[in-house]
Amino acid sequence: MTTAALFSAPVASPVLANTWPTESQKVAWDAQVTPPGFDPATSNPWGLHPRFLPTRVAAKDGLTPGDIHVDAVARYLYHIEEGGTAMRYGVAIARGDLYEPGTYTIKRKVRWPHWQPTQNMIDRDPELYADIADGMEPGPKNALGSRALYLFLGDRDTYLRIHGTPQPRSIGGRASSGCVRMVMAHINELYPNVDIGSTAFLYSAEDSVTAGS
């Protein structure tokens, strides 16, 4: 598996949004994006294929608990657990050649993050991002959704994220501009179990391996 290529041009630091949500606001938004009586294994108001619902599976031998593995072919994210198991989630990956396979370190986690499109994204589709070039406030319509795990190469922020999405029907497809998308209710379950310093392996379509069954 190759290390992901760096962006060809520097990306400006995100402009901070105007507001910061309170804890009560975050709790209210969590309730808004969580189905009533939520059961990760069965709740499916999004109409996902059942295989994309969270499932505990047997992990392959030798994988490090706490690490994340993303299978680009099956569109699965595996979070490796102690005791030889993994939680498997359905994801969406980047469209076309925007998917960046590599080995990353998770160095930041944010509940209800702000978001700003990168300059590369704006250059590719200026009309799409014209109204949000300076960033989006947190909330259920924010492109990063309810949770974000920030992927780094060394000390460099790659601007790639594993994050919630306000477009849950994209799960199973290729939809993003580089990031790995999850249903917000699913990443809310995953988020507290991921430690800063964990490794995230994003496999290429050619090199994808299954971390669990």
> Of the listed 79, 114, 163, 186, which one is catalytic?
163
> For the whole model, what pTM was predicted?
0.83
pLDDT tens-place string over residues 3-60: 332 222 233 334 445 678 899 999 999 999 999 999 999 999 999 999 999 999 999 9
State which of 106-115, 167-176, 191-200 shows the largest mean pLDDT: 191-200
Which residues face 153 on adjacent strands?
156
Domains and CATH numbers, the chain: 45-203 (2.40.440.10)
Indicate the burial class of 181 (C-beta count within 10 angstroms; 0-12, 13-18, 19 or more).
buried
- Note if 69 is an active site residue: no
CA distances from 174 to 15, 88, 95, 99, 179 (A): 27, 18, 4, 9, 10
Task: State the average pLDDT over residues 194-198.
Answer: 98
**What is the Cα–Cα distance from 87 to 78, expressed in whole angstroms?**
6
Computed over every residue of the chain, the mean pLDDT equals: 84
Q: What pLDDT sits at residue 204?
A: 84
Cβ-based neighbour number of residue 2 at 10 Å:
10
Residue 132 has pLDDT above 90, yes or no: no
Residue 83's Cβ-side half-sphere holds a number of Cα atoms within 13 Å equal to: 4
- Note if 163 is an active site residue: yes
> Of the listed 69, 114, 179, 186, which one is catalytic?
179
